[in-house]
Structure 1
């Protein structure tokens, strides 16, 4: 356990594959949490991160051309819906 900004505890988890097939990963979680909780959170979040990563080149999420807050509010949900549709087609689900 280490301490972050303003004495906020940070849990550091090193994930290693004893067979060496997968690369080592270091996971950080704010608060005093178990290694199991940090790893399960990483697994839950991975599909979301992969969807964002894969959608950026296809739908322009990496380079939005909006100038005001209401434009962002309109554009982002549309981009996410399009990205999910594209992912479904590529993955054979739609």
Structure 2
């Protein structure tokens, strides 16, 4: 079975790559479906960034409420909740 390519965006540094889930996992990305599950708020980070800068960390570790999140963090949460459709790559 061929895996579809998905857009992987690091919510800490903004790195943006198109990878299959297997490629992303091998490269060290924290992204579903190999790490976590689609639609569940958890870190979405590249191999070099810490999860401490994520919306998940703000909510779960720092005790933020939704109204305390930055606009960028709210965008991340909206993208996560709309996965996998929000990270699908259109095939030519």
Q: Normalised by the size of structure 2, how large is the TM-score?
A: 0.24
**Larger RCO, structure (CA 8 Å, separation 6 or more):** 2
Q: Normalised by the size of structure 1, how large is the TM-score?
A: 0.24
Which is strand-richer, 1 or 2? Answer: 1
Which is helix-richer, 1 or 2? Answer: 1
Structure having the higher Rg: 1
